[in-house]
Amino acid sequence: MPEMNGWSFLEEYTQTKAAKNSTPKVFILTSEDSKENKERATRYKIVSKYICKPLDKNSVKELLTTR
């Protein structure tokens, strides 16, 4: 995203009326496998999963069945 990164997006989005009136699921797909970022992701209620690349079949199946 040229204008903002994913963390900036989460900050902005969680402040919107849409986020407050619904329960979206956000999946973070990243090449960054850091403990700090995984912990940071848990601070957002809308983040359902933090997934590190490469994405494999099992990860996709798990995403499709996440509720």
Q: pLDDT in tens for each of the 67 residues of the chain?
A: 578 999 999 999 988 888 778 888 899 999 999 999 999 999 999 999 999 999 899 888 888 887 6
- pTM of the shown model: 0.78
- The half-sphere exposure of 8 on its side-chain side, counting CA atoms within 13 A, is 5
* Euclidean distance between CA atoms 17 and 9, whole angstroms: 14
Quote the strand ranges of the chain, DSSP E.
Answer: 26-30, 47-52
Write out the two tokens for 54.
Answer: 């490469």
Residue 60 φ then ψ, to 5°: -65, -45
What's the confidence (pLDDT) of residue 19? 76
CB 25 within 8 A of CB 46: yes
